[in-house]
Structure 1
Amino acid sequence: MNINSYYNKREIAFNKIQDSNTVTKVIMAFIMACFTGIMAQFIIPLPFTPVPITGQTFAVLIAGLFLGKKYGAFSQILYIGIGATLIPWFAGASGGIATLLGSTCGYFVGMVLAAYFVGLISERYVKSRNFTRMTAVVAIANFVIIYIPGLAGLAAWSYFTQGIVLGPIDLIIMGLAPFIIGDIVKILSAGLVSKVFLPKA
């Protein structure tokens, strides 16, 4: 298959996703929610923080790339809603309202917002889909849009359930620093996915 044929097939496949009817898009959002649940089971618990290292951030980032802002965010709402009520597919095969409202509550909020943000940029700015620009976009989604509510939620959980006030350094140590290397790998992988699978025109 020559490069022009590849570009043509890539554009056709992407347009089919974008032009799908509502039922099909809901199904695809559910599939992406399932993928997020699967990636959440790749987990490395850390002894000094209740927030584990997981693979689910990668699924969050590519949800926006493939499904756009509306259904990318919806896929994460499905993931959260189903995990809280039906299927224990949060990190470490956990689930339920208690987990949803636990130490990672803010990260769940950030996941929905990050998928929406990546989808918004990808939809609105076609030129953002190359490796360099999309890597910058998903880095913002990861380190700003996920971590700001994530760290705020961790601080609130610590205060209201443990009676501990976490300072900025404590929050960084517990909720950000251990995840940076893994996040960089996931960000670069999402940028590569955009370069390989998304049309640029």
Structure 2
Amino acid sequence: MSMNNYYSTRKNVFERIQDASTATKLLMSLLMACFTGLMAQVIIPLPWTSVPITAQTFAVLCSGLFLGKKYGCLSQILYIVLGVAFIPWFGGMTGGLEILLGSTGGFLIGFIIASYFIGYISEKYAEARSFRKMVAVIGIANFALIYIPGLAGLALWMSLQGATFTVVDILMMGLVPFIVGDIVKILAAASVSKVFLPKD
């Protein structure tokens, strides 16, 4: 395939997704929720924190890229709602309201915000779909929009458990161990944007 054919095919596929019917977009949101649930089962537990390393963040970041702000955000809402209601597809094949109200609940809320943000930028600014710019966009989504509510939720949960902790403790439990893995996921998602999304 020539580069011109590649660019043309990439643009046509992207436009077909954008112009799909509401029913099709709802189905794609559900499929992305399923993909998030599948990636959540790729787990590396850490002995010093209740927050494990998982691959689900990669799915969250990609949801906004492919589905845009509205349906990317919806995919993460579906992931959370269905996981709370009856599908055990949170990390470690867990589910239920106790997960949302537990130590990782804030991160789940951050997934919705991050997906919307990435979708908004990728929809509104085609030039932002380049690798370098998307690294910055996805980096903000990951380290600010996911971690701020995530760490706040972790701190609240620990407070309710009666634990004594400092800001450093929270960062060591909920952020520092995951930085390298998150950088890898950010670079991977930015690569997805570079390869699959048109730049005009």
Quickly name the TM-score band, shorter chain normalised: over 0.9
* Residue type at the aligned position of 1:65: L
Contact 1:51–1:104, Cα closer than 8 Å, also in 2: yes
Deviations 1:125-168 (A, max 9, x none): 110000000011000000000000000000000011x2014311
- Structure 1 counterpart of 2:196: 197
- Structure 1 stretch displaced more, 162-171 or 24-33: 162-171
Unaligned runs of 5+ in 2: none
CA deviation digits over 1:4-47, x for unaligned, max 9?
A: 00000000000000001111000000000000000000001111
1:74 is aligned to 74
Q: In the aligned structure 2, how far is the partner of 1:119 from the partner of 1:17?
A: 13
Separation in 1, partners of 2:147, 2:100 = 16
Contact 1:43 1:52 in 2 (8 A): yes
Name 2:176's counterpart in structure 1.
177
Give the distance between the partners of 1:165 and 1:194, measured in 2 at CA.
Answer: 42
TM-score normalised to structure 1 length: 0.98
After TM superposition, the structure 1 = structure 2 runs for residues 133-172 of structure 1, keeping only pairs within 5 Å, are 133-160=133-160, 162-172=161-171
| TM-score scaled by length of structure 2 | 0.99
**Would the aligned equivalents of 1:69 and 1:115 in 2 still touch at CA under 8 Å?**
yes
Conserved? CA contact 1:108–1:150, under 8 Å: yes
- 1:129 counterpart residue number: 129
Amino acid at match of 2:53: I
Cα distance in structure 2, aligned partners of 1:166 and 1:143? 21
Q: Which runs of 4+ in 1 moved over 3 A?
A: none
Matches of 2:9 and 2:140 in 1, distance apart?
30
Cα distance between partner residues in 1 of 2:92 and 2:67 = 26
